[in-house]
Structure formats: structure tokens, C-alpha cells
Amino acid sequence: MGTLPERRTIPPWVKVPEDLKDPEVFQVQTRLLEAMFGRDGCRIPYIEQVSKAMLELKALESPDFTEVVVYGSYIYKLRAKWMLQSMAEWHRQRQERGMLKLEEAMNALELSPWMK
């Protein structure tokens, strides 16, 4: 995901100011963002609507991680955080399996010793 999407409005299900206090915060590997949120964050509005929470992505000093901030009522923000962490883990494992398959395929294609 090239640049992080910028928040312009607060969804109608988020109560201001009480739901904006004490957000849930966690970090996600930056390489997983596009798989989770779509190109340029196009899936964020849908995820927010389903989870009844508000999401904000913040760049960190390390380009390897991005901070995900979840706002909403207590139960909705905990549920959204759990859901997003589960999605991140699923995508991480999927990418890892893909790398292992690629490595196996490359090893299978290695030239036999007599051709070296």
C-alpha cells in the first residue's frame, strides 16, 4: 500500500468524544497492509462498517511496521482489534507458505551435479 489513507470524516456509529478516548493500538507488518485493507485502503470503510469501529493507520519510524489505531465503544474496538490481528496473522502465514513453496520449486529446478 503506497501511502496511508487519510481520515476525513468520523463514521456515524462512533460517538464523539467518548469513543475517541482510549483507543486500542497495535502494529502490523507494512507488507501485509495491502492484503488486509486493499489497495490504498479501499476496504477500510467496509471493515469499519462491519466492526462498528473507526480505523486509523499511522506510519512509524520503522518502515517495516505500521500502527493501527482502533476507536469505538469498548466491545467494538476489542472485537475489531482481534479481527484485524487474526487477519494479519492469516496473511502472514499465507505469505510464508508461498515463500516455502517458491523455495521448494527453486530447489527442485536446481541443476543436477553433472550439469554444473
**CA-closest candidate to residue 80, choices 49, 107, 111:** 49
**Residue 7, pLDDT score:** 76
Q: Superfamily for 21-109?
A: K Homology domain, type 1 (3.30.1370.10)
List the chain pLDDT tens, one digit each, 116 residues. Answer: 656 667 778 899 999 899 999 999 999 999 999 999 998 889 999 999 999 999 999 999 999 999 999 999 999 999 999 999 999 999 888 888 877 777 777 777 775 555 55
What strands lie across the sheet with 65-71, from one edge to the other? 24-29, 65-71, 54-59
Domain coordinates in residue numbering, the chain:
21-109
**Residue 88, pLDDT score:** 93
CB 75 within 8 A of CB 31: no
Distance of CA 59 to the CA centre of its chain: 12
